[in-house]
Chain A
Amino acid sequence: MKKYFLINWIIFKNAYIRDKKVPGAVFAGVMFHLVDIAMIIIFFNIIFSNTSSLAGWNFYQVLFLYAFAKCIVSINSGWIKGGLNDFATELIRRGGFDFFMTKPVNPMILVSMSRPRLYAFIAGIFEVGLCFYAIFAGHINIGLANIFWFIILAILVNMLYYFLQVLTVVPAFWFIKLWSLQDLMSRFNQVMRYPAGVFPPVIRFILMSVFPIIAISFIPAQTLFYPPKIEYIIYIILITLIFGMITNFLWKLGQSRYSSASS
């Protein structure tokens, strides 16, 4: 574990050296995030000018849910998305994955953290700020137990989100030229900003279990605002474990099918 932290630290340091040479790109990345947040807040204002709640959640709760979902996306985007995108589009197709296979580390983890995007972490700071704003402006009372379970669930859902993201790129081992794969998660990210109750039962079931993208944002937020439900906590622990095992299994299966690229 210590080894991975050290590797990660060096990769981050290297990304900083790289990014400080192109401050314009970092600034543009942060600005893009902020404009996106501003547009969504305007969109929520329009919705809540016509209704007082969404599936029982008020404006500030929905705003928190959005900011929290955005935090998860930013952390993953900053940490692992660049590497996984690269994996789906370049590493397999051009054989660059060869070098990851010959290193005494887990290739899935090394690929994931190989291309960090520091601007996503900067944007994440604004999103954390938005979370706090939603809590204070909405006068939401939160107990210590809620905070404790929320933190535990937040860690678990970040892992779950990572596993889902890996699952969307694993087919590259078989299909090599599946360029659109890395965009799949971006499409699903959009449903993370709404309370689960707004979705029709069948879709809610699918997005809570088969591809549990709404569970990632909704369950921790629900645990923060309402009395923690043990069944929700157990559910998140279980699906994180299950998806972790599925991801690991499929990655290893894909690895055994890896055919590299001709020299």
Chain B
Amino acid sequence: MNIISSKNISKKFVKTTFSWSKFWQLQKEEKIAVKDLNIEIEEGEFVGFLGPNGAGKTTFLKMLSGIMHPTSGEAKVLGFTPWERDHNFLRQIAIVMGQKNQLWWDLPAIDSFNMLKEVYSVPEAEFKKNLEMMIETLQIKDLLSKRLRNMSLGERMKCELAASFLHSPKIIFLDEPTIGLDVVSSKSVREFLKTINREKKCTLILTSHYMGDIEALCKRVIIIDKGEKMYDGDLNELKTKYAPEKKIEIFLENLEDKEKFAHLGGKKNIIENKGIIHAPKEEIGAIVKDVFTLFNAENIIISEADTEEVITKIFKSKKY
């Protein structure tokens, strides 16, 4: 069942400027942020939005969450038109922005949580249950009494995430939630999002520049560029379509290994002591057979193409 659907939704920003040379005429600069986007998302999906900076990902998210009105088009989220801001709709969604805080800067997190409880009219029992779950999953027991301004970025993001889930939203919009976080914090945020998606059956919409987030969390990706949808489908299919090759890495111990490497098939290159072969999937069997005949198994790694490389290739080539 579709929980989110948008039909030809567009957003155009108009900036009015004045110049002395055209004193009587205001200049209008127009920028199309989102152009005729048609997207449908089912309940319980975890969808990743990908695109270069300024592609329109955040603008689209803001329209779906009711923050912004579109210039044209329609959208239904949970059966509501988001920008009409029906309170029954707003009670069922949450938005987390990696670059902005919704919690009070000078107060301990628990005080902000208590305020959100009233804002969302969360019953006491549900609030306690959700808070306990957040404390356990995000390991934030010690942070509850700590002021936001005294927290590290990672701690702050954990509290922001907890705050967004206290009212048991059905849809969560995540705009770069791991931005600036270290590896450990990013990992715990990802784990938490996975758990929420699995256990609470929440629908999560994620925008991130970190491919690690998208790979770890989203089965489905939507690529947007210049406000237009370029790809909508399975992440693995995207890799198969745009990187139909496998990568074989061989640790070359000596000159003799390098000579043997030169006789192998496929697209080859050597970086320091590592020989890399990009082989089409249909040829991989033959090449692997040769590789294992010539080299020690412990020196060989066979992998899929790196997602980040694939996406970079797609954005650079602009071939979708």
Contact = CB atoms under 8 A, between A and B. Distances in A.
Interface of A: 3, 6-7, 10-11, 13-14, 17-18, 21, 95-96, 98-99, 101-105, 110, 256-260, 262-263
Given A14-B111, A103-B90, A260 B118 contact: no
Interface string B103-129: 010110001101100111100000000
18 contacts: A3-B121, A10-B118, A17-B111, A18-B104, A18-B107, A95-B100, A98-B67, A98-B97, A98-B100, A99-B100, A101-B65, A101-B85, A102-B90, A256-B83, A258-B67, A258-B69, A259-B68, A263-B176
Contacts of A95: 100
Contacts of B104: 14, 18
Interface string B239-273: 00000000000000000000000000000000000
A74 B67 CA distance: 32
Contacts of B95: 98-99, 102
A104 B118 contact: no
Interface string B59-73: 000100111110000
Interface string B216-229: 00000000000000
A102 B115 contact: no
Contacts of A17: 107, 111
B62 A260 contact: yes
A99 B85 CA distance: 13
A95 B68 CA distance: 11
B93 A102 contact: yes
Contacts of B120: 103-104
B119 A7 contact: yes
Interface of B: 13, 54, 58, 62, 65-69, 83, 85, 87-88, 90-91, 93-95, 97-100, 102, 104, 106-107, 111-112, 114-115, 118-121, 175-176
Q: Give the 6 A-B residue pairs with the shortest CB-CB distance, closest first.
A: A104-B87, A104-B90, A99-B102, A6-B118, A263-B58, A10-B115
B216 to A, nearest CB: 21
A7 B100 contact: no
Contacts of B66: 101-102
User: Secondary structure at chain A's binding surface: helix, strand, loop or mixed?
Assistant: helix
Nearest to B116: A103
Nearest to A99: B102
Contacts of A258: 67-69
B100 A14 contact: no
Contacts of B175: 263
A10 B91 CA distance: 19
Given A3-B118, A262-B58, A263-B176, A102 B65 contact: yes
B297 to A, nearest CB: 47
B65 to A, nearest CB: 6
A228 to B, nearest CB: 39
A14 B107 contact: yes
A6 B87 CA distance: 17
Nearest to B11: A259
A258 B93 CA distance: 20
Contacts of A11: 115
Contact of A104 (B83, B91, B115): B91
A258 B106 CA distance: 27
Nearest to A10: B115
B235 to A, nearest CB: 23
Contacts of A18: 104, 106-107
Contacts of A13: 111
A76 B271 CA distance: 69
B117 to A, nearest CB: 9
Nearest to A18: B106
Contacts of A6: 118
Given A14-B115, A21-B106, A258-B69, 6 more contacts: A99-B95, A99-B102, A102-B95, A105-B119, A258-B68, A259-B68
B314 to A, nearest CB: 22
Contacts of A263: 58, 97-99, 175-176
Contacts of B97: 98, 263
A199 to B, nearest CB: 35
A110 to B, nearest CB: 8
A93 to B, nearest CB: 13
